[in-house]
Structure 1
Amino acid sequence: MTGDTYPAARIVAGAVEQYFAQCRAAMPGFPEIAPAPDGQTIEQIATTGFWASLRQEEGRSPKISLAWVPPEQAGHPLRFARPFPLEPGLLARLAPAVERPGIHLGVWEHGGELYVWGTTRSIPPACFVLEVVQPGLLVIKRRRAREDGKFANVAVLHGDQVKMVDERGGDLPAGMLNTSPLLAFASTRSWTDSVNVVVQLALSMRTHGHGGSLLIVPRDSDEWRRSIVHPINYPAEPAFTGLSSLAALEPDEEDRAEWMDAVRRAVDQVAGLTAVDGATIIDDRYDLLAFGAKIARSRGSAPVERVVVMEPVVGARPAVVEVSELGGTRHLSAAQFVRDQPDALALVASQDGRFTVFYRPPGQDTVHAHRVETLLL
């Protein structure tokens, strides 16, 4: 390698190389598996992406997705007449043309050097992808087996911080799996089984950037109303079923793309309401009940002071912290809501990109806070 180095890329390269090697070994006989990058390639791509993220073109920071894939495995790519050497200035210049979701710059090796050969929307399973999210923030991902599913996050590099995602560390306790919303966060591996509505809501909430709270309550109970200030600012009467009716469908494969597009539009419609001051409330079948709702501590309930925080990151351990360490009023009210309504789930997006899922395990008084922004980037 030549030029400036990026220590975080060097630190993570070995672990990421091993991860992708294991991915290939776990998919024997699967057609068109992407090649696994070696540690030096990973370090060079991440380093170049990092320095590109600190540049600006016309006052804008670049957002780029780089895929380690040869043109022959990229479906019907747009190929440049000649490949360009992989370097930060090139990435910053090309970023405006490829910043929309689903478009990748293809990177491959020739003569011992890495080159950008073109752009593609199609990449094979287990493909290494580096996404430049914002200045100094990179996410290493891989494409799952289903091309229409969310990519799996492998590692997050933020400045000098490195977080390797623990695919098992994201698992919730088995006793929590009796309610459908919690199945969405039961395991990071479950995110690719189908269109995961709760995860899509979380992604959309995080994307709008205003921060917000989403409460998911049982359909067959009105107990949650005891923890809400009345009258509710914006109740839905009758409940809005636009998202729930789509989520209940099981489309044929030929209709899947159209159905997924409709689900995403409905998700954005509901998630957009969380930008309004107050909490948005849906039931566990995704019927919209209200938005702009104010949370209140139930009569006779003890206030929440501490929560158990967990994060699906290698080496992370549960820690008991003051609720104020997680955020402000939005986090405190969400923690109080699930303390008083143990059958509910609360999703909280912060304006700075943090995302927390609050729940109360069966038989416990302690509220748990599941930090999942490393999975949503």
Structure 2
Amino acid sequence: MYTPRPITYQAAQLIAPQVEDLFKGKLQSALESGTDGLAPAPPRPVIEAILDTAFWASLRREEGQSPKISLAFLPPEQTEQPLLFEHTLSLSPGGLTKIAPGVERPGIHLGVWFEQDELRVWGTTRTVPSYCFVVDVPEPGLLVIKHRRTDGYGKFANVAVLKGDQVKLVDEYSANLPDCPEQLTSLLGLSAPSATGSTTPNVLIQLAVSMRAHKRGGTLLVVPAGSMDWQKSIVQPISYAIQPAFCALADLMKQEEEKKKRSRWQESLRREVESIAGLTAVDGATLITDTYDLLAFGVKIGRPRGSEPVSRLLFTEPVKGTRATVIHPSQHGGTRHLSAAQFIHDQHKALALVASQDGSFTIFAWSPCEEMVQAHRIDTLLL
């Protein structure tokens, strides 16, 4: 019988009941739909203990470095080829800090499960079942609660983000907003690839994650293939135009579904995504088509002759307790955000993805229903 431990991180106690209910609901729905091989439901005391330990561990340092770890709540028999410790480790801030340098690579999870009356770390794994309770520690004081999607592909779905005493619980129902972009519904786990028979990861999401990772800020403009209307919103001449268009990423996406399941294809995709995302660090915007042909980078956005300056946008964030609000573009960000909003104001069929140096990330899209630019802040989903 597990004996609950004292919790000193108050945010963990605040959010644990909601997280417990959320995982119970998802697992129950999955069971009713016939899904098997599901992860165990995390009880509230376990959620509190893992969050509490992870938070205090994140504030420590080992050889001058802050720990970057991922904790998964599951027994080793629910994994494939687990790395098992002969002697399990105490789930403590000190223990996690010591082992962190060896398990900080992406995709490695420290497995946590019951041993007699306490929680222990039994080893590591790269595979976890659907809806497994996972806590990532990307930086000091920042925790991300997430789970593996039922289809098994793409980025894990985020459930909540805790930063110090700030708690943000992801609101899946924000995808019900009119004209919600596909990228947002995919991040919320509401557009499973299996629904279309495709296992292809959402490329724009991968580009967004990579753009955010370089921490220099940047803008990616996505325009309709075969249309040149976007040139009306770009200052000429373009310093770094690509002629002919660079089509390596586009060619990858055209390959057969069977090839997309192979590790070689996945590695090629990662390499091309990082290449294009890296260009967004150059001053100006990077421009690709919606079929992933690279057209230019370092472009300057300008307002077409006769166009009115964008004066309002609908701001949303997929966090419970927030509401869509109409604001002036200058209230959301600086020059990069304002120019992206202006571009969408004039190019209704385009998308603009904007990363800030502080880690915030926004998708700008035109809303036919609201007849204005929508700014969807999604950094809570990208962590």
**Shorter-chain TM-score category?**
over 0.9
Is the aligned partner of 1:288 residue 2:276? no
| Inter-partner Cα distance in structure 1 for 2:260 and 2:311 | 51
Is the aligned partner of 1:135 residue 2:117? no
Is the aligned partner of 1:208 residue 2:211? no
Q: Answer yes or no: is the 8 Å Cα contact 1:212–1:348 preserved in 2.
A: yes
Q: Answer yes or no: is the 8 Å Cα contact 1:172–1:186 preserved in 2.
A: no
| Inter-partner Cα distance in structure 2 for 1:183 and 1:38 | 33
Q: Answer yes or no: is the 8 Å Cα contact 2:7–2:49 preserved in 1.
A: no
Q: Answer yes or no: is the 8 Å Cα contact 1:107–1:114 preserved in 2.
A: yes
Match of 2:152 among 127, 139, 147: 147
Secondary structure class of the residue paired with 2:375: strand
| Inter-partner Cα distance in structure 2 for 1:218 and 1:370 | 20
| Inter-partner Cα distance in structure 2 for 1:363 and 1:255 | 37
Question: In the TM superposition, what is the alpha-carbon distance from 1:146 to its structure 2 partner?
Answer: 3.0
| Inter-partner Cα distance in structure 2 for 1:145 and 1:206 | 26
Question: In the TM superposition, what is the alpha-carbon distance from 1:184 to its structure 2 partner?
Answer: 2.9
Is the aligned partner of 1:72 residue 2:54? no
Is the aligned partner of 1:371 residue 2:377? yes
Matching residue of 2:325: 319
| Inter-partner Cα distance in structure 2 for 1:278 and 1:149 | 29
Matching residue of 2:344: 338
Per-residue CA deviation, residues 160-197 of structure 1 (Å, 9 max, x unaligned), is 111111122134524x7xxxxx4333452256413101
Matching residue of 2:184: 185
Matching residue of 2:14: 11
| Inter-partner Cα distance in structure 1 for 2:255 and 2:129 | 28
1:48–1:25 CA distance, 2 compared to 1 (3 A) = same
Matching residue of 1:231: 237
Deviates more, 1:160-169 or 1:272-281: 160-169
Secondary structure class of the residue paired with 1:335: helix
Question: In the TM superposition, what is the alpha-carbon distance from 1:266 to its structure 2 partner?
Answer: 1.0
Is the aligned partner of 1:37 residue 2:42? yes
Per-residue CA deviation, residues 117-168 of structure 1 (Å, 9 max, x unaligned), is 1111111111100001111110000111233321110111111111111122
Please give the TM-score of this superposition, normalised by the length of structure 2: 0.93
Deviates more, 1:30-39 or 1:61-70: 30-39
Is the aligned partner of 1:21 residue 2:27? no
Is the aligned partner of 1:218 residue 2:217? no
| Inter-partner Cα distance in structure 1 for 2:178 and 2:378 | 15
Q: Answer yes or no: is the 8 Å Cα contact 2:219–2:353 preserved in 1.
A: yes
How high is the sequence identity, in percent, across the aligned residues? Answer: 55
Matching residue of 2:315: 309
Question: In the TM superposition, what is the alpha-carbon distance from 1:257 to its structure 2 partner?
Answer: 2.7
1:300–1:172 CA distance, 2 compared to 1 (3 A) = same
Q: Answer yes or no: is the 8 Å Cα contact 2:76–2:122 preserved in 1.
A: yes
Q: Answer yes or no: is the 8 Å Cα contact 1:276–1:291 preserved in 2.
A: yes
| Inter-partner Cα distance in structure 2 for 1:192 and 1:260 | 18
| Inter-partner Cα distance in structure 1 for 2:148 and 2:259 | 20
Secondary structure class of the residue paired with 2:367: coil
Code of the aligned partner of 1:109? F
Q: Answer yes or no: is the 8 Å Cα contact 1:150–1:192 preserved in 2.
A: no
Code of the aligned partner of 2:107? G
Q: Answer yes or no: is the 8 Å Cα contact 2:83–2:124 preserved in 1.
A: yes
Q: Answer yes or no: is the 8 Å Cα contact 1:157–1:163 preserved in 2.
A: yes
Question: In the TM superposition, what is the alpha-carbon distance from 1:304 to its structure 2 partner?
Answer: 2.0
Matching residue of 1:264: 270
Code of the aligned partner of 1:246? L
| Inter-partner Cα distance in structure 1 for 2:114 and 2:244 | 58
Q: Answer yes or no: is the 8 Å Cα contact 1:244–1:287 preserved in 2.
A: yes
Please give the TM-score of this superposition, normalised by the length of structure 1: 0.94
Matching residue of 1:245: 251
| Inter-partner Cα distance in structure 1 for 2:224 and 2:42 | 46
1:254–1:204 CA distance, 2 compared to 1 (3 A) = closer
- After superposition, the CA RMSD in angstroms is 1.7
Matching residue of 1:55: 60
Matching residue of 1:88: 93
Question: In the TM superposition, what is the alpha-carbon distance from 1:4 to its structure 2 partner?
Answer: 5.5
| Inter-partner Cα distance in structure 1 for 2:365 and 2:257 | 31
| Inter-partner Cα distance in structure 2 for 1:204 and 1:264 | 9
Secondary structure class of the residue paired with 1:324: helix
| Inter-partner Cα distance in structure 1 for 2:11 and 2:190 | 29
| Inter-partner Cα distance in structure 1 for 2:286 and 2:176 | 25
Code of the aligned partner of 2:296? A
Structure 1's unaligned 5+ residue stretches are: 177-181
Per-residue CA deviation, residues 241-287 of structure 1 (Å, 9 max, x unaligned), is 11111112233178433222211111111111101110000011111
Q: Answer yes or no: is the 8 Å Cα contact 1:149–1:191 preserved in 2.
A: no
Question: In the TM superposition, what is the alpha-carbon distance from 1:2 to its structure 2 partner?
Answer: 4.4
| Inter-partner Cα distance in structure 2 for 1:122 and 1:153 | 17
| Inter-partner Cα distance in structure 2 for 1:159 and 1:57 | 20
Code of the aligned partner of 1:264? R
Is the aligned partner of 1:359 residue 2:365? yes
Q: Answer yes or no: is the 8 Å Cα contact 1:184–1:191 preserved in 2.
A: no
